[in-house]
Structure 1
Amino acid sequence: MIELAPDQLPPLTRWFTAGSPGAAALPEHVLASGTGRWWADRAAAPRALAVACADHVLLRGDPEALARDALAVFGAHYVQAPARFLPALGSAFDLVVPWERMLYLHQVPVPVPRTPDGVTVRRLAAEDAPALAALTPDTAWVHASWGGPAGLAASGLGWAAFREEDVLAVACTYFHGTRYEDIACFTVPEHRRQRLALACVTALCQDIATRGHSPSWTCSRDNRPSRLLAWTAGFRLEHEYVQHLTGKPAHQGSGLPA
């Protein structure tokens, strides 16, 4: 596949449904934020289209239009695609693992819980980027959809629990769509079980509602803590679906861009 510049994009209404929740809001997020990349089998009148942001990919179109190794650029990604793409994914990677997911929509307003003494929950601001960057490397996924801590901090779409200058928990809009905002959250391990994530998530949900949008929540079916947090924060299950985690390209030396 070849990468497309934003001014090369075809009309997207035939490819993606506007106003969709969960990871399906990814195309709208990429258009609005500029974080992410677009790919197609060809620039003019494409027959297959992909959009990638952070480690997530959405595929649409006709997989028969793709060369054998066309999808190899999406190694180690979570791919959401119609079932007709599975043979192409299977031939492109040494491993394709189905990942059962759950999509929740926010339906029950919940008050922001009290936090421990000395902890403040507030909106992130641009000057909070160093505090986000100071979190452990395994938290980088939280701000990946904004291109890094500076992008998330400046977006105005994140809330965090602070003790002095330290971030203890954070919740943010991960994919910002035209109708739904899909949420991500994280709590520093030693500060869990203090309802800090719940405080951040409920504050963020109230903020999303003031924008006239609706919060959505996606998580693994096996992630019981995330499911419990979603329920406690007022989310209710909408449907289940399957993404696929890709492994390494099955054919090395294909000459595809990294």
Structure 2
Amino acid sequence: MIEISTPDPRALVRWFPTGSPGPATIGEHVLATGIGRWWADRPVRPRTVAVSCAGHVVLRGNPEGLTPSVFAPLAGNRVEAPARFLPALGAAFDRLTPWERMIWTLQAAPQPAAVSRAVTVRRLDPADTDAVRALHSDASWLWASWGGPRGLATSGHAWAAVGRTGRLLAVACTYFRGTGHEDVAVHTVADRRRHHLALACVSALCEDIASRGHTPSWNCSVHNRASRLLAWTAGFRLVREYVHFAAGSPVAHDRLSA
């Protein structure tokens, strides 16, 4: 696939329906923020279009007649695509691992979160950029959809539990911002887990999302028990399940033609 410039949003409706939770918010987020990439099998009258951001890809269209090598640029991503794409994707990569996912939306009041008086839950601002950057490297996924630590701190879509020293103990943010739903992500530093900080941050973020007229949504693996428990405690309820696929390395062209 080749990278294309940002498409006309009106032309994308038939490819990527808007206003629903889950993968649909990825394309909307990329359109709104400019963070991410658009792909197509050809620049004029494409048969297949994809959008990618933060290691996630949503793939739509018709794979008929496309060679597996077309999908090589999507290697290393988690790809959500209709079942008709699976034969081509399976031939394009050395492995294609299914990953069962759950989509939740906020439908109930959150349980109370008792937070220490030494902790302040507030919105992040540009002055917090260094504090975001100081988070452990295992939190780098959190700001991937905002282009980096500064992007997250300046987005206006992140809330944190902040200690007296200014250290960030937990952060919840809109990961993908859609027109109807905002997908929520959260990270808590290892030594402050089970202190209700994640719940407090998620609850504050959800109130903020609701004030914008949007519905908070949650996306996690069916095997992530901790994430599922936090979602339920915060008032989220299951809407549907789906599968996306972790794409490995591209298969060499000589193997494809052998």
Q: Give the shorter-chain TM-score range.
A: over 0.9
CA distance in 2: counterparts of 1:198 and 1:187, whole angstroms: 10
**Alignment partner, residue 159 of structure 1:** 159
Structure 1 residue 8, shift from structure 2 partner = 7.1
**Alignment partner, residue 228 of structure 1:** 229
Structure 1 residue 213, shift from structure 2 partner = 0.2
Structure 1 residue 26 and structure 2 residue 45: aligned? no
1:1-258 matches, within 5 Å, as: 1-6=1-6, 11-110=11-110, 113-163=113-163, 164-251=165-252
Q: 1:98 to 1:157 in 2, by over 3 A?
A: same
CA distance in 2: counterparts of 1:215 and 1:36, whole angstroms: 21
Identity of aligned residues (%): 56
CA distance in 2: counterparts of 1:204 and 1:40, whole angstroms: 35
Contact 2:38 2:49 in 1 (8 A): yes
CA distance in 1: counterparts of 2:215 and 2:137, whole angstroms: 30
CA distance in 2: counterparts of 1:195 and 1:253, whole angstroms: 54
CA distance in 2: counterparts of 1:187 and 1:252, whole angstroms: 43
Q: TM-score, normalised by structure 2?
A: 0.95
Q: TM-score, normalised by structure 1?
A: 0.95
SS of aligned partner of 2:146: coil
CA distance in 1: counterparts of 2:8 and 2:43, whole angstroms: 7
CA distance in 2: counterparts of 1:86 and 1:11, whole angstroms: 25
SS of aligned partner of 2:23: helix
CA distance in 1: counterparts of 2:37 and 2:184, whole angstroms: 21
CA distance in 2: counterparts of 1:146 and 1:159, whole angstroms: 14
Once the two structures are superposed, residues 64-94 of structure 1 have per-residue CA deviations (whole angstroms, 9 ceiling, x without a partner) of 2433211111111111000011011111110
Q: 1:77 to 1:192 in 2, by over 3 A?
A: same
Structure 1 residue 248, shift from structure 2 partner = 1.1
CA distance in 1: counterparts of 2:48 and 2:65, whole angstroms: 7
CA distance in 1: counterparts of 2:84 and 2:7, whole angstroms: 28
Any unmatched runs of 5+ in structure 1?
none
CA distance in 2: counterparts of 1:3 and 1:193, whole angstroms: 43
SS of aligned partner of 2:205: helix
CA distance in 2: counterparts of 1:10 and 1:157, whole angstroms: 26
Once the two structures are superposed, residues 107-157 of structure 1 have per-residue CA deviations (whole angstroms, 9 ceiling, x without a partner) of 012266231131111001011111111111111100100111111111100
Contact 1:92 1:250 in 2 (8 A): yes
Once the two structures are superposed, residues 183-235 of structure 1 have per-residue CA deviations (whole angstroms, 9 ceiling, x without a partner) of 00010011000000000000000000000000000100000000000000000
Structure 1 residue 9, shift from structure 2 partner = 7.4
SS of aligned partner of 2:94: coil
Contact 1:158 1:172 in 2 (8 A): yes
CA distance in 2: counterparts of 1:252 and 1:47, whole angstroms: 22
SS of aligned partner of 1:98: strand
Any unmatched runs of 5+ in structure 2?
none
Q: 1:117 to 1:90 in 2, by over 3 A?
A: same
CA distance in 1: counterparts of 2:68 and 2:60, whole angstroms: 16
The one-letter code sitting in structure 2 at the alignment partner of 1:60 is R
